[in-house]
A and B are shown apart, each in its own frame.
Chain A
Amino acid sequence: MSHHIVELKDITYTYPDQTEALRGLSVRITHGESVAIVGANGSGKTTLLSHLIGVLFPTSGSINIGGYPVTKTTLPHVRRAVGMVFQNSDDQLFMPTVYDDVAFGPLNLGLPPEEVDARVTAALTTVGALHLKDRTPYRLSGGQKRSVAIASVLAMDPCILVMDEPTAGLDPFSRRQLINLLKTFEHTKIIATHDLDLVVDLCARTVVLSEGTIIADGPTLDIFSNEELLNKAHLEKPFRMQGCPICQRQD
C-alpha cells in the first residue's frame, strides 16, 4: 500500500518573525510504520506536525502524503488521510456533546446519518468511551477527553495518525490505557513526544530533531543506547533503560 507514504523532502520553514524552525529536513515514512519524533523544546516537533496537516506550508521543499503533494488544492484529500490528535484536548472538543464532536468529521464528509451513527458508535467503542456519548466535553477528566479526541479522529477513518504529546497531562493509569489502545491500531503513527518510555512501547523507529533538523533516524533502541546523541538532543535514556538507582545503591 504505497499510497500511504509520507515523504518530506528538504523542508525549510521560517516563521514570520524570522525564526528558522525547520532547516533542510527530509524523512520518508512508509505504510504501517510507527515513528516517534523526539527532541528538545523548540526543536521543531510541533512545526513539523503542522506541515503534515497543511496548517503550515514549507518555505521551501516539498511534502507528499498518500500520493498527493500537500498544497492548498489537495488539502481535503490530505486531511482525510491524516488524523491529527492535538496536544490540548480542549482545542479539539468544541461541540456541545461528545456524540456531536465525534460526528463532526463524518458529517463534514457528507456521509448519510446511519453511516455517521455507525462510525461514531464504532469509534467511541474502540476507545472505550461509548458511555460518555451524551456528556459535555468540559465535564470529562483529562484521560476521558483524550480518548474522545482520539475517537473524533478515528471516526474520520484516517490512514495516518499524527499525535502531539498524546500522554501529556495524563495520570499513569490513563497513560497506560492510552498506550495499550494505540498498540492495537494498525494505522501509520507519527507521535511527537517527550515520553520516551511510550516511544519504547509503541515505536520501532525514532527520529531525533535538533534545531530544526534531523540528527538521527533509526531503530528506537539503537538511538536510546547512544548517550552522546541523547545529550546533544537534550534527552535522556528512557527510565526503564536506566539502571535503577535505588536498587543498585551500594551503601
Chain B
Amino acid sequence: MLKVEANWIDLRYLDALSTQSTFIHHLNPCAKLITTLSFIIAVTSFSKYEITGLFPFFLFPVILFSLGNLPTAPILKRLLVVAPFILFIGIFNPLFDHTPIMKIGSVVITGGWVSFFSITIRLCLTITTALILVATTGIDAIGAALLKIGVPRIIVIQLLFMYRYLHVLVEEFIRTITAYSLRSFHGEGVQFRAWGSLLGQLLIRSIDRANRIYQSMLCRGFDGEVRLRRTSTLTSTDIGYLACWLIFFLLIRFFNVPELLGKLLVGVN
C-alpha cells in the first residue's frame, strides 16, 4: 500500500516540474513534441545489433536535464518502475540468437546479447525523453500540441481525460486498499480471493463517476466535441531549437560518431 502511495506522489512531482520557468519550459510545445518524436524515431530506426551508434543520443536527454533544471533522481526512478518491462522485452534474445558477433578474450558475444543490450539502451533513451517531455511541458500543453500536429481529437481527449482522472482513480484505489488492510489480518498484501470484489467495486465506482462526469458535461452544453484553447505560435527560437536538434539527430543517425572519433584518434583509416 505504501508503495502505491509513494509512486503516486512521484506522479504529482512530474507535474510540478512542468510549471518551472526555464528556456526549455518556455519553448513551444509543438517544437518540443516534434523534437522528442524525431528523437524516438531516430533511436528506434537503428539495426538490432547497433550499440555504439546509440551513444551520441544520450546527449539529448543530458542537455535537457541540464537546461530544463530537472532533478535526475526522480525521473530515473520512474524509469526504474518500467525497467521490468524493458527487461522482459529483450530477455529471450540471448536464448534464441546465437550468432557470434565478436570475441573478447575467449568469450564469444552472441547476437542475442548484443541485441538485448541495444533494446535496453533504446528503451531507456526513449522513455527518459518521454518523461522529460512531460516534466518540461505539462500534459495539457502536450495535448494541444498533439492536436496541432494532426493527431485525431478523440485520441487526444481520451489521453487528457485519462491523465486527469488517473489521480482520482488512484486515490480511490488507495482508499479501498487502506479500508481492506485495516480489516484484514492476513499480513501483507491483498488476498487473491478479495481481488475480484475489490476490482469489481472499483469498476462500478468508475462507471458511476463516468456517468456523473458525462452529466456535468451535458449540463454545460457538451455536443460531442471538446474544444481546447489554441496554443501560442512558433517563434524563431522554437524553429531554431527544432532545426538544431533535427540536424543533430540526422547527423548521428547516419554517421557513427564514436566510430569516426575512434578512427581519428587511433589514426587508422
B-contacting residues of A (Cβ < 8 Å)? Answer: 53, 55, 75-76, 79-80, 82-84, 86, 88, 90-92, 94-97, 99-100, 103-105, 107-109, 113, 136-139, 152-153, 156
Contact = CB atoms under 8 A, between A and B. Distances in A.
B139 to A, nearest CB: 6
Interface in B184-232: 209, 212-213, 215-223, 226-230
Nearest to A136: B15
Nearest to B228: A100
Given A94-B213, A103-B229, A109 B168 contact: no
Contacts of B164: 94-96, 136-138
Given A108-B227, A138-B167, A86 B221 contact: no
B129 to A, nearest CB: 22
A91 B213 contact: yes
A156 B229 contact: no
Contacts of B209: 91
Interface size class of B (residues with CB under 8 A): 20 to 34
Nearest to B208: A91
B15 A94 contact: no
A91 B216 contact: yes
Given A90-B168, A96-B143, A100-B228, A108 B220 contact: yes
Interface of B: 12, 15, 139-140, 143, 160-161, 163-165, 167-168, 209, 212-213, 215-223, 226-230
Nearest to A94: B213
A169 B223 CA distance: 31
Q: Which 4 residue pairs across A and B have the least CB separation, nearest first?
A: A96-B140, A108-B221, A105-B220, A107-B227
A80 B140 contact: no
B227 A138 contact: no
A172 B165 CA distance: 28
Contacts of B160: 95-96
B221 A94 contact: no
A86 B218 CA distance: 12
B216 A83 contact: no
Given A55-B218, A96-B164, A97-B140, A88 B229 contact: no
Given A108-B221, A136-B15, 12 more contacts: A55-B219, A79-B218, A86-B212, A86-B216, A94-B216, A94-B217, A96-B139, A96-B164, A100-B229, A136-B140, A138-B167, A153-B220
